[in-house]
């Protein structure tokens, strides 16, 4: 089963850090698409999708998917498992995972120090999204 196009491109983001990342891409005039593709990871015998992975962004000029996560490292096991499965099943797909540390560095680099804790969340909160 090949990648599935997501016809319902959302203009709203699942997490505030995604909106901020999109604004950075826009500022640098980097074209992007939000959650345009779902990659099948598991299907039943009839070919029905049981598990998929939808990266947050696709950068068409770089031919790269970007997945953002601001969860604590100990909470991203499932996301890392899905990325490993995607790389095994779709080896030609270029994907980059930007974790909490990467996103903090990015926000600090662009002078968003005050917003970083609000966008990324508190490291002690076990219910963070992303």
* pTM, 2 dp: 0.76
Angstrom CA distances, 40 to 5, 35, 54, 67, 95, stand at 11, 14, 9, 16, 15
Give the Cβ contact number of residue 8 at 10 Å: 5
Q: How confident is the model at residue 19 (pLDDT cuts 50, 70, 90)?
A: confident
* Most confident range, picked from 8-22, 37-51, 65-79: 37-51
**pLDDT at site 75:** 62
CATH classification (class only), 4-120: alpha beta
Pairing relation of β-strands 49-53 and 37-43? antiparallel
With CA atoms as reference, report the closest residue to 102 among 91, 110, 93. 110
Tell me which of 28-37, 39-48, 94-103 is least confident: 94-103
């Amino acid at each position: 089963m090949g990648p599935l196009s997501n016809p319902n491109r959302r203009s709203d983001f699942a997490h505030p850090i995604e909106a901020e990342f999109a604004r950075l891409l826009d500022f640098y005039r980097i074209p992007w698409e939000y959650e345009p593709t779902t990659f099948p990871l598991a299907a039943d015998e009839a070919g029905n999708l049981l598990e998929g992975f939808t990266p947050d962004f696709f950068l068409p000029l770089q031919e790269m998917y970007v997945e953002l996560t601001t969860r604590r490292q100990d909470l991203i096991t499932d996301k890392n498992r899905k990325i490993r499965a995607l790389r095994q099943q779709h080896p030609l797909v270029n994907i980059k995972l930007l974790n909490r540390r990467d996103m903090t560095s990015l926000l600090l680099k662009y002078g968003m120090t005050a917003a970083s804790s609000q966008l990324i969340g508190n490291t002690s909160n076990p219910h963070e999204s992303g």
